[in-house]
């Protein structure tokens, strides 16, 4: 499933540059994650990089965008121009 950033975000700016898919951007009040671009780093890393660097643990699974590891891999493959 895609990830989301909760209201506990302190806008520290460390997560955005860590996202290999460019899914994290500054929103109106706090950072946000585009579920269409978030693969939880599947295809790039073993762990979600934004979760690893977040100092306040405000990045969680998004229950509104449930995806299996296979679906996340297919999304990654599609984003890099390969068929899953």
Place of tokens 């660097």: 53
Domain ranges for the chain: 3-79
For 3-79, the fitting CATH number among 3.30.70.20, 3.30.200.20, 3.30.70.1450, 3.30.70.890 is 3.30.70.20
Minimal CA–CA distance to 13: which of 80, 60, 27?
27
CB 32 within 8 A of CB 48: no
What's the average model confidence in pLDDT over 17-43? 96
Q: What is the mean pLDDT of residues 65-81?
A: 94
Contact 45, 20 (CB under 8 A): yes
Confidence at 77, pLDDT banded by 50, 70, 90: very high
Average pLDDT over residues 51-80: 96
Q: What confidence tier does 7 reach under pLDDT thresholds 50, 70, 90?
A: very high
Direct distance between the N- and C-terminal alpha carbons of the chain, in angstroms, rounded to an integer: 17
């Amino acid at each position: 499933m895609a990830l989301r950033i909760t209201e506990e975000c302190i806008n520290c700016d460390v997560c955005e540059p860590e996202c290999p898919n460019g899914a994290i951007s500054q929103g109106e009040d706090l950072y946000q994650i585009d579920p269409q671009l978030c693969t939880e780093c599947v295809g790039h890393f073993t762990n979600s990089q934004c979760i690893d660097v977040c100092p306040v643990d405000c990045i969680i699974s998004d229950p509104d965008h449930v995806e299996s590891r296979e679906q996340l891999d297919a999304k990654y493959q599609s984003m890099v121009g390969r068929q899953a």
